[in-house]
Amino acid sequence: MNITPTIWIITIAVTIAFFAYEFFAHVRKPHEPTVGESARWSAFYIGLALLFGVGIGIVSGWRYGGEYFAGYLTEKALSIDNLFVFLIVMAAFSVPKAYQQKVLMFGIIIALIMRGGFIAVGAALIENFSWVFYLFGALLFVLAYMQVRGHEGNPADNLFVRLARRVLPVSEEYDRDKLTTKINGKRFVTPMLLTIIAIGFIDLVFAIDSIPAIYGLTSEAYIVFTANAFALMGLRQLFFLIGGLLERLVYLSQGLAVILGFIGLKLVFHALHVNEVPFINGGEPILWVPEIPIWFSLVFIAATVAVATIASLAKTRGDAAKADRGQVEGEPIAKAKDSH
């Protein structure tokens, strides 16, 4: 792809403009979005992302279009996993519904900034050191294993939050959506700021698996950035739209583990194909190793997301049906006990 500095500047400016509009039009005045509002804006941002991918395919070729769609789908799935952890954090800090939009907005902006930094570093490493593909592949295998284990510990009680509590005076109550407040003439930070700090730390952790994952699908920094930007756009609305559904996606972590493991394998295959490491095949490329085509990656990732979603909903529906049957069967016994 021939991406000029002008295209980069326009892309970044438009991205900032979208987030600025989001803040001033929807977030600045605290309120809980309706389902209709969330659905409309979620559909708008997803539609915009798909149109952008079609535009890349038409202008730069469908190889790059396929890489964008595979990257976007992977980043969107990982972003939904972000939402699950955001939900845990906001529940831990008891963030009022009306203020959750602001927390999400700050969290998404922090995520985009963090990923932007990782994208720049990743692009420089890939361009200058082919051995980094081995490193990224190994990292994705580790992250896939961690996904299988699921979310452990309390994400609201991380290192940055504990440090903030030690250094900063923290109030016990929220003061609307303010980050700081005055109590008896003394300035305190509110739980709102602690929540944003917790989410910022989570964004850092998720950027570590997000960027190597998409660099396993494309080496184009522009595609990596735009796929990430579009995956994060509309995430705030998606949170309120599928908030109840998040808890039903019980196999999401396993699905993401399969995707990360697959991309890790793809990276290792590519590393062997362009090998320059002296102690592997004498520093020569291993050309018989297959290169996984992007169309197969796209189909595999889409199928994995679909299977994980369908299996999750089937399991939760089955568990709910069993619970209902158990209650119905238990009623006569309970009534008989009451009569005695």
Q: How much is the pLDDT for 333? A: 47
Q: How much is the pLDDT for 57? A: 92
Average pLDDT score, the chain: 79
Measured distance CA(203)–CA(89) in Å, rounded: 12
Which of the two residues, 222 and 235, has the higher pLDDT score?
222
Q: What percent of the chain has pLDDT over 90?
A: 10
Q: How much is the pLDDT for 54? A: 95
pLDDT for 228-237, tens place per residue? 889 888 777 7
Q: How much is the pLDDT for 223? A: 92
> Exposed, middle or buried, 47 (CB in 10 Å: 0-12/13-18/19+)?
exposed
Which of the two residues, 28 and 188, has the higher pLDDT score?
188
Give the pLDDT band (50/70/90) at residue 246.
low
Alpha helices in 150-220 (DSSP H): 159-167, 191-215
* Overall pTM surpassing 0.85 (yes/no): no
State mean pLDDT over 18-44. 79
Q: Are 41 and 25 in contact (CB under 8 A)?
A: no
State mean pLDDT over 283-306. 82
Q: How much is the pLDDT for 159? A: 63
State yes or no: pLDDT of 312 exceeds 70: yes
Domain boundaries, the chain: 5-316
Q: How much is the pLDDT for 160? A: 64
Q: Are 258 and 309 in contact (CB under 8 A)?
A: no
Q: How much is the pLDDT for 340? A: 46
Q: How much is the pLDDT for 331? A: 55
Q: How much is the pLDDT for 327? A: 64
CA angle 269, 286, 63 (to 5 degrees): 50
Q: What percent of the chain has pLDDT over 70?
A: 88
DSSP state of 99: G
pLDDT for 151-203, tens place per residue? 555 665 666 677 777 777 777 777 777 777 887 778 887 888 888 877 777 77
The count of residues in the chain is 340
Measured distance CA(87)–CA(192) in Å, rounded: 14
Q: Are 225 and 111 in contact (CB under 8 A)?
A: no
Q: How much is the pLDDT for 337? A: 47
Phi and psi, residue 61, nearest 5° = 110, 150
Which of the two residues, 312 and 47, has the higher pLDDT score?
47
Give the pLDDT band (50/70/90) at residue 247.
low
State yes or no: pLDDT of 302 exceeds 60: yes
* Number of CB atoms found within 10 A of residue 13's CB: 10
Q: What is the largest CA-CA distance in the chain?
A: 84
